[in-house]
Amino acid sequence: MEHIVIIGNGISGITAARHIRKLSNKKITIVSAETDYFFSRTALMYVYMGHMKFEHIQPYENWFWEKNRIDLLRGYVTQVNTSEKKLILDESRTLTYDKLVIATGSKPNKFGWPGQDLLGVQGLYSKQDLDQLQADAPNEKICKRAVIVGGGLIGIELAEMLRSRNIPVTFLVRESSFWNGVLPEGESQMINEHILEHHIDLRLETNLAEIQSDVHGRAKAVVTDKGDTIPCDLVGLTAGVSPNIDFLGDSGIVLGRGVKVNRYLETNIDDVYAIGDCAEQHEPIGNRRPIEAVWYTGRMMGETLAQTLCGNKIPYNPGHWFNSAKFLDIEYQTYGWVFSDQTKKENEMHFHWRHPKEKICITVAFDKESRKFLGINTFGIRMRHDIFDRWLSEARDIDHVMEHLKDANFDPEFYDPYESDILTAFNWQFDTQLRMKKKSWQRIFNGT
């Protein structure tokens, strides 16, 4: 019986295993050093904040794996011998495979900062990170101040977590405005304001220079490139993540920043594949980055590879870009492509609307020549994924999108009051006379 070994029990590896089992009777072994069972990584913050217990973020009961004949092996892979199709675990045990799937995810970035390996310095990615945070920052009495380094999604999550326990937070962001390499200026500015409203000490255009140690080897303060010394008990390193591939150095597998794969998620070695955060496409797909550390793309890679491993070889086709996140109290969604002011294309035009009082806004991108709809960002407003996915596939123009915004409504009871204001602002900015079409449930459900 063919033996498929998957290294990593995150969303991509587990999805691959589940779909392989649906399609075949192959022997499946999942190897992970992090936890015995799969958990939802994006929900770690809610465990710390007290909204859930850790067992609540495990989507499957413990008996699920044995019932579905998926073997779970706890261990750390220290070497991959592709010529003998053999793994070395914890530098002692061996495990052979017929086909190997590398799904080892990411690790927090470190950039050689002095003091980055001190006690009390950590990222926020693994179950071990959660456990360490619970020990080092249980409350504001034990942790009198935390400093977070890096202004991305993980950083804002960690800030929210710590503030939920009344721990003061200083947030060091190297950019001139929060996440402005991704968000257009108006959105980034709104998030700056929102961070400050949550009593977070946001310091823009500020870099970490050094983490200072006390006599016990624990972090006691950070020094910034502005010369400021900030006393703290915890330092969160959230300046992005990178593929977790250090153990593959002598495997013969071609590596870049991640494990190099083609559109079929194949490496240069026969019967070895890579999926999820650790996989790097040889050629980027459309506007996408070669490495995408995103939950839903990891899931899609797992589904795609399962088909290939079970005899139905298909390329990875992620479709239109989509992502969602939360900035403290503000929900964020993006469909298609809305580039930041720093990176937007020459032909890309933006329409930005912001509510005069609430933290609600949208930015719509379209081609200024053809008026083709390119994408939309929403903050504080929920939209229907399937509607925007269809409009992008149909290459609808911006006029159609603006006139039919009601059809994209996910929460009409909350969103309806803003639609006329949005269209009025669009008409004024672009000197058009568009009229909002009446919401049609028939159009929505029939896909017209």
Lowest average pLDDT, out of 58-62, 90-94, 366-370, 393-397, goes to 90-94
User: Could you give the percent of the chain with pLDDT greater than 90?
Assistant: 91
312 pLDDT above the threshold of 70: yes
For residue 197, give both structure tokens. 């409203």
Mean pLDDT of the region 265-279: 98
409 pLDDT above the threshold of 90: no
412 pLDDT above the threshold of 70: no
Spatial distance between the Cα atoms of 280 and 293, rounded to a whole number of angstroms: 10
Closest by Cα among 325, 272, 266 to 296: 325
442 pLDDT above the threshold of 70: no
Closest by Cα among 387, 397, 394 to 335: 387
CATH 3.50.50.60 fits 121-239, yes or no: yes
Q: pLDDT tens digit string along 110-163?
A: 999 999 999 999 999 999 999 999 999 999 999 999 999 998 899 999 999 999
Q: pLDDT tens digit string along 106-120?
A: 999 999 999 999 999
Task: Compute the CA torsion angle 193, 198, 201, 202 (nearest 10 deg).
Answer: -30
Please indicate whether residue 188 or residue 441 has the higher confidence score (pLDDT): 188
Closest by Cα among 364, 325, 323 to 344: 364
pLDDT value, residue 181: 93
68 pLDDT above the threshold of 90: yes
Closest by Cα among 52, 53, 5, 14 to 36: 14
Please indicate whether residue 444 or residue 118 has the higher confidence score (pLDDT): 118
Q: pLDDT tens digit string along 341-384?
A: 999 999 999 999 999 999 999 999 999 999 999 999 999 988 89
Which band of pLDDT confidence, cut at 50, 70 and 90, is reported for residue 441? low
User: What homologous superfamily does CATH list for 322-446?
Assistant: FAD/NAD-linked reductase, C-terminal dimerisation domain (3.30.390.30)
Which band of pLDDT confidence, cut at 50, 70 and 90, is reported for residue 438? confident
444 pLDDT above the threshold of 70: no
420 pLDDT above the threshold of 90: no
Q: Can you say how many angstroms the Cα of residue 421 is from the centroid of all Cα atoms in its chain?
A: 32
227 pLDDT above the threshold of 80: yes
Residue 131's Cβ-count burial label (10 Å; 0-12, 13-18, 19+) is exposed
pLDDT value, residue 418: 86
Spatial distance between the Cα atoms of 398 and 19, rounded to a whole number of angstroms: 38
- b/e string for 286-314 if b means 16 or more Cβ within 10 A? eeeebbbbbbebbbbbbbbbbebbbeeee
Q: pLDDT tens digit string along 192-218?
A: 999 999 999 999 999 999 999 999 999
pLDDT value, residue 447: 55
Which band of pLDDT confidence, cut at 50, 70 and 90, is reported for residue 415? low
Which band of pLDDT confidence, cut at 50, 70 and 90, is reported for residue 267? very high
Q: Can you say how many angstroms the Cα of residue 442 is from the centroid of all Cα atoms in its chain?
A: 34
Residue 209's Cβ-count burial label (10 Å; 0-12, 13-18, 19+) is middle
CATH architecture entry for 3-107+242-309: 3-Layer(bba) Sandwich (3.50)
Q: What is the pTM of this model?
A: 0.93
Q: Where are the domains of the chain?
A: 3-107+242-309, 121-239, 322-446
Fold identical between 3-107+242-309 and 121-239?
A: yes
Spatial distance between the Cα atoms of 236 and 171, rounded to a whole number of angstroms: 9
Q: pLDDT tens digit string along 12-54?
A: 999 999 999 999 999 999 999 999 999 999 999 999 999 999 9
For residue 292, give both structure tokens. 């995408």
User: Could you give the percent of the chain with pLDDT greater than 70?
Assistant: 96
Please indicate whether residue 447 or residue 80 has the higher confidence score (pLDDT): 80
